[in-house]
Structure 1
Amino acid sequence: MKMKKMLAAAAAAGIAAISGAAGAETISMTIGAKTFDVEMNGTEAAANFVKRLPISQPFEDFGKLERITYLKPALDTGKDALTASPKRGDLAYYIPWGNLCVFLIGGNAPSEDLVILGHMSEEALTALEKSGKNRVELRVKE
């Protein structure tokens, strides 16, 4: 019985490592006086982004599709897959332009240069949509 439990635990750990869930964490996004959670996905790119926090800068509209802000220097995306089909609320990094982006519309075509980092709630997304040119602070959740 003990051996079965050990094998089950090892299998669960292996699945978590493959899915990227093992290192997932939550960060905070503050806009004005309101703070929201953003769930990171546990990928190497997301972990590298979290290491760079805190950051505080405005996001701008990129058409009606997304809100973006540029990161300098470029984010190390590690060995994560580079093809992603973003959905509404996804926080991602677009490699060619070096920008962080949050998708406002779902059903987007796959991109070979996009790495999904995490996802935010509808409430957080609405606040970001309405943030205008105000600074948005992203930090490790305390």
Structure 2
Amino acid sequence: MKNIFLIPLMFLTFLSLTACSPADDDSIIPEIPEQPENPGNGDSDDNNSEEPTDPTSGGNGRYLVLFTSRSGNTERMANEIRGQLDCDILEVEPQTAFEEDYNAMLERAREELDAIKQGNYPAVKTSMEDFESYDLVFVGYPIWYGSMATTMQSFLHGHASKLEGKRIALFATSGGSGISSSVREAETLCPDSEILDQALLLTSSSLSQMEIRVAEWLEGIGVGLEEPENSDVTSLKMNIVVGSRTISATMEDNAAARDLLSRLPMEVTLNDYNNTTEKIFYPNPELELDGVTRGCAPVPGDITIYAPWGNVAIFCKSWSHSNDLIKMGHIDGDGIEVLSVPGDVPVRFERTE
């Protein structure tokens, strides 16, 4: 008789267990967000704090490091870049702090990524007025489910117009997945910015090599620690690397030339102008012109600034006198022949020892 009652009881128990079993839809996850080494001790985030709009300044104000981080790994990477360049840095924070509970954070990350696909970006409490003073902006983030962390996606989406024309270098941390998808996201979010081809990714297996990996990456993209703006530029010589050839130039002792020398090394593309009469590029920010002597009748090899536009012009042919031209230097010997070719020319300006 007892067995008769046990059979329906066992059947009900089986139905109950089946109803509570989770679905298997989430069994394949492209990438799991970085998990803090010490759960509960991730990045602090006080929603009542004043909105951080001003970066922390460094000695080198030509570069800015933007980063968002939850576990602290991306923050460590950002600080390493800042330390090697002595540049400005700013943390991009969500309007609402991420949950300390790891599983809850994963769920929120998935929901926000899905919302972004529909054009709905989560709120962030970090903003900047402009990026005009920066030659290069570093953008760092953890990779969540193969994508750029939602906080940084929101920031870039909201600041895309202010980043127009700016060079952006991407760096990221992840548990093991690649960075290529997030690079494409950055290109979509900032279509009018120049996203550098070389991005740096550190995974859990390479975080211990952070210092050397960052140094190698910075060297690879032509970025290094520059002298402070108030330092003396004792040498007025520079090299111009064009492909496999290196030519030299002697600069004038004026504010514009010293400003240019203080920014080296620098990689630019010289654009052909006026049928190979001159090769030009636009420094950003514009060079210092206080106290410089204006007026020049350029000859082949002269390095000048056209004051109304702020562009550097290297003359390959002689031209008539202009009160708006400022001479900054002259290419030594017959080196100008290297630049006297049709079309645009990529070059690297370097300080001489």
Which residue of 2 is the match for residue 121 of structure 1?
A: 332
One-letter amino acid of the structure 1 residue matched with residue 302 of structure 2: D
Moved over 3 A (4+): 130-134
Q: 1:37 aligned to 2:248?
A: yes
For 1:81, the aligned partner's letter is T
- Aligned pairs, number: 119
Say which of 279, 294, 298 aligns to 1:67: 279
Taking the aligned partners of 1:122 and 1:98, their CA distance within structure 2 comes to 27
- For structure 1, the 5+ residue unaligned runs are 1-22
- Indicate if the aligned counterparts of 2:316 and 2:339 stay in contact, CA closer than 8 A: no
What is the CA RMSD across the aligned residues, in angstroms? 1.8
Q: What TM-score do the two structures reach when normalised by structure 2?
A: 0.32
Question: How far apart are 1:24 and its partner, in Å?
Answer: 6.2
In structure 2, give the amino acid aligned to 1:32.
G
Q: Pick the structure with more strand per residue.
A: 1
1:49 to 235, 260, 263: 260
Q: Aligned partners of 1:54, 1:92: CA distance in 2, in Å? A: 18
- The question of whether the paired residues in 2 share the 8 Å contact of 1:72 and 1:98 is answered with no
The one of the two structures with greater contact order (alpha-carbon pairs below 8 A, sep at least 6) is 1
| C-alpha displacement of 1:122 | 5.0
**Structure 1's 126 and 47: CA in aligned 2 closer, same or farther, altered over 3 A?**
same
What are structure 2's unaligned runs of at least 5 residues?
A: 1-233
Determine the structure 2 residue equivalent to 1:8: none
Contact 2:301–2:331 (8 Å) recurs in 1: yes
Asked if residue 112 in structure 1 is aligned to residue 323 in structure 2, the reply is yes
Any idea what SS the aligned residue of 2:334 has?
A: helix
Q: State the distance in 1 between where 2:333 and 2:291 align.
A: 29
The percent identity for this pair of structures is 27
8 Å contact 2:241–2:247 — kept in the other structure? yes
Counterpart Cα distance in 2 of 1:86 and 1:133: 20
Alpha-carbon shift at residue 78 of structure 1 (Å): 2.1
| Equivalent position amino acid for 1:120 in 2 | I
| Cα separation, 2, equivalents of 1:81 and 1:95 | 11
Distance, in Å, in 2 between the alignment partners of 1:132 and 1:141 is 27
Classify the secondary structure of the residue corresponding to 2:286.
Answer: coil
Secondary structure of the structure 2 residue equivalent to 1:58: strand
CA distance in 2, matches of 1:122, 1:60: 22
Take 1:123 and 1:59, find their aligned partners in 2: how far apart are those partners? 18
